[in-house]
Amino acid sequence: MSEKSNVEADVEFNEAGKRVRKVKSFVLREGRLTKGQERAMEELFPTMGLEFQREAYNLNKVFDREAPKVLEIGFGMGKSLAEQASCERNIDFIGIEVHKPGVGACLLLAEEFELTNVRVIHHDAVEIIDYAIADHSLDKIQIFFPDPWHKKKHHKRRIVQTEFCQKLHKKLKKGGVLHLATDWENYAEHMLEVLSPMKEYENLSTSGDYVPRPDSRPLTKFEQRGQRLGHGVWDLQFRSI
């Protein structure tokens, strides 16, 4: 189930010529596309896709309306995103995914469900957050089942880190929600350790840790199977303050 996000670093040079590491959320992954996914990228992406740009999208213009805006980082094959958008057509959804077959698959589902409230981006999430999303423009950001990088030496590659969560906070409206979900308990604990001390956020859990799965997050077949086997899933919701 953990299928999407990861963090890597490129080497850059600052103005003094010193080597610095630039964190990236993903490695762009092309993968082999089915004929349907190829068609989706050719025919649907031009109208339902957003190209990376170094200035903020005008999301109201993109969707041709004013409505709540939700950004999902790492939507995998897009089933959950498409189902959510289908059930909540009064909300606009923007999804970021680096796996090209996943982008194509999501577009096909959007076509099947006749969705007009979804746009997809095939690019590195950190750069999208840095350049293409306006501050205080989002009502919710969701990251569901990111790569857990379960080995301790790889924990630094996890996308949920303090610096990245600070970036996300700037994009949320006051009262906007950051919603995380994982099926790795250790990663859930890591997420809680990152977010709990941050003054920018308020935990929506009444017990100070996790929340029950909100109805807004579709229950996947993998998750249903995991529940039957006794596997856990942890949801966290933090409000921007």
Active site residues: 147
Token pair 């999407």 is found at 4
Q: List, in sequence order, every residue forming a beta bridge with 144; answer none if it has no partner.
A: 181
Between CA 174 and CA 7 the distance in angstroms is 27
3-state secondary structure (DSSP) of residue 18:
coil
Between CA 133 and CA 191 the distance in angstroms is 23
Which letter, b or e, does each residue of 99-138 get, where b requires 16 or more Cβ atoms within 10 Å of its Cβ? bbbbbbbbbbbbbeeebebbbbbbbbbbbbbeebbeeebb
Indicate the DSSP class of residue 74: -
Provide the sign of the torsion angle of the four alpha carbons 182, 150, 124, 36, taken in this order. negative
Between CA 188 and CA 154 the distance in angstroms is 15
